[in-house]
Chains A and B, each alone.
Chain A
């Protein structure tokens, strides 16, 4: 009896779980992990502290070091948990149409996930031509996410935003509920506070 009821429940959830404001751009290629624990890590940095330096390979072929921007540009780091998942696939394409807002605040955007370069190449190609660098924190796995304290226990990162000023000081942190996209107005408001 229990087996039949469990089977019926599986059928129920198969039928009622649907897309989540997802773009046609990804067709049926997005894996839906369901609702996850909102946050699953402990921050190792704080607002007012110095951002830990790192060096990562980008999809563009460049190697990007955070310290290269010190004294020149403000930096926004956008960690997203994983390629080919619902909310992540809908986050960076929004940033892609506000290059002018970032530039008006003398700020560069760095997108980071723990995925490999080939995976990121394939995924970000579905978003159109991105103007910002997308970095792979694949190996050593999640090392940069771990430095910031946003590596979750299952090996993906949190959905987190860090705003870092030209002196390398962290001015804003939003470790967001992994199931939701951070509101754009909050980030733009923080960019407005930068010099």
Chain B
């Protein structure tokens, strides 16, 4: 085979692999299925009950007992996540006090590159009431495009799948407007 042909084919092959890798590294967009990665179950019973889970070991987001799950991707080392924590607590409190959203929408935080100890420090510091799950080895982070923190996903659970209905980097802003958007995406109202 001609040298130029070999070079051309090799170049195309490398670029194709790059494109595939790039596609895998983008955050899951709205309409796609959220990666069904196993996560560590919370250690305390009230958080297990909140998620509709039992026992120890791992769980998948698709197993959470809810219609919609809001997922905050954060790190205890992230200044924006620290600043955002009180607002996220307000969002959680609003949902739990809402007859419309309570039990339908659940929240979890996934602590990227944090140990359980570090996630607990963040939880205690900011008095976070929803479960914070460590992703110390980037297992989940690698499947969601290694997003910066904070990053918010909302997924709609149905038929054992988690469909992404919200995917955005940065702080949430007005949490009531955010909830309205989630509600429209999930239930069309």
User: Which residues of A come within 8 Å of B, CB atoms?
Assistant: 1, 4-5, 7-9, 11-12, 15-16, 18-25, 90-91, 93-94, 96-98, 126-128, 181, 183-185, 188
Pick from A4, A24, A98: contact of B170, CB under 8 Å? A24
Interface residues of B in 1-60 (CB under 8 A from A): 3-4, 6-8, 10-11, 14-15, 17-19, 21-22, 25
The answer to whether A184 touches B117, judged by C-beta atoms less than 8 angstroms apart, is yes
Q: Can you name 6 A-B pairs with beta carbons within 8 Å?
A: A11-B14, A21-B141, A23-B148, A25-B79, A93-B79, A183-B117
Chain B positions within 8 Å of A11 at CB level: 14-15, 18
The answer to whether A5 touches B10, judged by C-beta atoms less than 8 angstroms apart, is yes
If A8-B14, A25-B78 touch, whether A19 touches B147 (CB-CB below 8 Å) is yes
Beta-carbon nearest neighbor of B5 in chain A: A1
Interface of B is mostly: helix
Check if B158 is an interface residue, CB within 8 A of chain A: no
Distance between A121 CB and nearest chain B CB, rounded to angstroms: 16
The answer to whether A23 touches B149, judged by C-beta atoms less than 8 angstroms apart, is yes
The answer to whether B11 touches A24, judged by C-beta atoms less than 8 angstroms apart, is no
Distance between A178 CB and nearest chain B CB, rounded to angstroms: 16
Chain B positions within 8 Å of A181 at CB level: 77, 113
Distance between A145 CB and nearest chain B CB, rounded to angstroms: 23
The number of chain B residues with a CB under 8 A from chain A is 43
A98 to B122: give the CA distance in the assembly, Å. Answer: 9
User: Which residues of B come within 8 Å of A, CB atoms?
Assistant: 3-4, 6-8, 10-11, 14-15, 17-19, 21-22, 25, 75-83, 112-113, 115, 117-118, 121-122, 125, 138, 141, 145-150, 169-171
Beta-carbon nearest neighbor of A16 in chain B: B21
Pick from B17, B115, B146: contact of A183, CB under 8 Å? B115
If A8-B15, A16-B18, A23-B149 touch, whether A90 touches B3 (CB-CB below 8 Å) is no
If A9-B14, A16-B25 touch, whether A23 touches B121 (CB-CB below 8 Å) is no
The answer to whether B122 touches A25, judged by C-beta atoms less than 8 angstroms apart, is no
Chain B positions within 8 Å of A19 at CB level: 146-148
Chain B positions within 8 Å of A98 at CB level: 121, 125
The answer to whether B4 touches A1, judged by C-beta atoms less than 8 angstroms apart, is yes
The answer to whether B112 touches A1, judged by C-beta atoms less than 8 angstroms apart, is no
Pick from A22, A128, A183, A188: contact of B83, CB under 8 Å? A128
